[in-house]
Amino acid sequence: MKKLALHWKILIGMVFGIVFGLIMLSVKGEWFVNDWIEPLGKIFVKMLKLIAVPLILASLVKGISDLKDISKFKAMGLRTIIIYVLTTVIAITIGLALVNTIKPGEGITQETVSTLKAKYSNSDKAATIITNARAQKETGPLQFIVDMVPDNAVFAMSNNKLMLQVIFFSILLGICMLLIPEKDAKPLKDFFDSLNEVVLKMVDLIMLSAPYAVFALLATVIVSADHPDILLALVKYAGVVVLGLALMICFYLLLVSVYTKKSPLWFLKEISPAQLLAFSTSSSAATLPVTMERVEEHMGVDKEVTSFVLPVGATINMDGTSLYQGVAAVFIMQVLWPEGLVFSNQLIIILTALLASIGSAAVPGAGMVMLVIVLEAIGFPSDLLPIALALIFAVDRPLDMCRTMVNVTGDATVSMIVAKSLGKLGNLKVKNWDDNYEDVK
């Protein structure tokens, strides 16, 4: 009897988690979920984050050192950055086009705005986000480049928020291994080759618990939801974001079909476990080990490509987040500051959201913080900022789950495009999570 594929197991776990969460809400059993179910999800996310840094370090060093020729790294890096920038601009444009056409802000009543103002005008959470955003904004235009360079590699590897610094150190180490005699680099290369294989095996083991962890994560999200009246008032806004994210997925599928000549349905099937984990964890970094496994072992992308493109993408490519920032900024203006809805401000939103997606990895609470930077860049009244954040607090969690899924899908798409352009996208027999084998077509 054929075993159930991993993506179906995870999907079943998600459905049961939602149903269980709703049942617990109806019987006032939130305490049970918080005390006995939520820890299971937290442990799973911690385990994924545990291996994120060693995986990036090992895979990047291995991938670069395997190139043999440093000119290959230059070609790959340039193509990767250009494609990531282009997809991000397209994502922001799609979001702005939808929010200006559908105008979800017109569905929010002044009564709802007054409720939010009374509740959140002195919110500690809003104040913290605004403070972080202003501190980030006061830095120089090249500060995000300065932040990429670590002054202590060991310290950088001890903090998942410093992933850009880990990538910088890994790339530098890999390049230097290419520049010394091969016999001198071989012992270190063998170490990282072995470390890479061990970490990938850890991914296999961790993934055995994925369906149960997803159940715990979704049940926790359901029982943590509050303010149902505000949630209903924001359905239209959330619908615009989700529609934009869905169109972005369609754009990725079009790229896969036209450029790589692969079936869109095949692509969705192979990347679905990573998508579902991204949806459950809301973390591209935590999902990275699974994304790399799926793209490399199940989609035929060469290790040289996955080891560079995916870690970089998980850090700087935030198509879903950028689309959300564009929609959220215009939605907030429609409700609180309609006079700011001019064409020049929308151009500023595109540019600011693009730069924010590159520098967001080093900023705590990146999505909300960068939204504040986008709003302040267009001259949004500072006294309305707490209310602006309050408008999207209620639905931010589920939308964060959706946009993270798009971020991961975008990373996988770009890795396939780069691999195809370099002649490193092939057909191979791969091993599924459930130990069944099938041909990549």
What is the pLDDT, as a whole number, of residue 231? 54
Confidence class for position 386, pLDDT limits 50, 70, 90: confident
The CA-based diameter of the chain, rounded to the nearest angstrom, is 72
CATH topology of domain 68-167+226-439: Proton glutamate symport protein (1.10.3860)
The pTM of the full predicted model, rounded to 2 decimals, is: 0.79
| Cβ-based burial of 360 (10 A; exposed 0-12, middle 13-18, buried ≥19) | buried
What pLDDT score does 356 carry? 67
- How many whole angstroms separate alpha carbon 321 and alpha carbon 353? 9
Q: Read out DSSP for 70-136?
A: HHHHHHHHHHHHHHHHHHHHHHHHHHHHHHHHH-GGGGS-HHHHHHHHHHHTT-HHHHHHHHHHHHH
Least confident of 113-127, 161-175, 250-264: 113-127
Residue 154: its pLDDT value, please? Answer: 92
Confidence of residue 273 (pLDDT cuts 50, 70, 90): very high
CA–CA separation, 263 and 256 (whole Å): 7
Q: Bigger pLDDT: 366 or 159?
A: 159
Task: Write down the domain spans for the chain.
Answer: 68-167+226-439
Stretch 359-380: mean pLDDT: 66
Cβ atoms of 385 and 130 closer than 8 Å? yes
The residue with greater pLDDT, 7 or 229, is: 7
Please tell me which residue, 250 or 226, carries the higher pLDDT value. 250
Tally the C-alpha atoms within 13 A of residue 417's C-alpha that lie toward its C-beta.
24
pLDDT at 336: 81
How large is the average pLDDT for residues 81-94?
93
Q: DSSP code of 379?
A: T
